[in-house]
């Protein structure tokens, strides 16, 4: 379930890529022509890496929830916040101060990462994780 949640959050960010790919598929003369195009390969690669990354991240967050014994939503929010600060905050800071990207672009990316970390940990706490696979 965590993979589906996390993948949905990732697709929200990748939606413009898939929307553009869909429009090009409609404009293509044939299905064969579209499937041989660079756009189709790019969209397939983005989707594949997104689902694999979602699965790995969901497993890691679930393992951290189990390892820390997190049972409350407050604890899950703290854990997700720590994961966000460790994994995404340096990139956000770099985008703002070093790369000088537009704030709306940085904010959308940061919000997606908050859903992928804090939201995922809250969702997995709500759904429940197996604490001991040998029981």
Average pLDDT over the chain reads 79
pTM of the model: 0.71
* Residue position matching structure tokens 């413009």: 16
Predicted confidence (pLDDT) per residue in 71-82, tens digit: 899 999 999 999
Cα distance between the two ends of the chain:
21
Residue with the larger pLDDT of the pair 127 and 24: 127
Q: How many other CB atoms sit within 10 Å of the CB of residue 115?
A: 21
What is residue 82's predicted lDDT score, i.e. its pLDDT?
95
Residue with the larger pLDDT of the pair 17 and 58: 58
Predicted confidence (pLDDT) per residue in 20-58, tens digit: 555 555 555 555 655 666 666 776 777 777 788 888 888
Whether 111 shows a pLDDT value over 90: the answer reads no
| Separation of alpha carbons 126 and 39, rounded Å | 38
Cβ atoms 5, 112 nearer than 8 A:
no
What is residue 39's predicted lDDT score, i.e. its pLDDT?
66
């Amino acid at each position: 379930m965590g993979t589906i949640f996390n993948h949905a959050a990732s697709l929200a960010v990748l939606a413009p890529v898939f929307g553009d790919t869909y429009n090009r598929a409609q404009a293509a003369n044939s299905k064969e022509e579209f499937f041989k195009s660079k756009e189709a390969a790019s969209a397939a690669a983005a989707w594949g890496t997104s689902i694999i990354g979602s699965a790995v991240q969901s497993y890691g967050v679930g393992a951290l929830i189990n390892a820390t014994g997190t049972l409350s939503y407050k604890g899950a929010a703290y854990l997700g916040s720590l994961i966000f600060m460790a994994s995404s905050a340096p990139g956000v800071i770099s985008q703002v101060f070093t790369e000088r990207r537009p704030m709306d672009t940085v904010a959308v990316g940061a919000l997606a990462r908050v859903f992928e970390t804090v939201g995922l940990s809250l969702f997995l706490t709500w759904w429940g994780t197996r604490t001991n696979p040998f029981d």
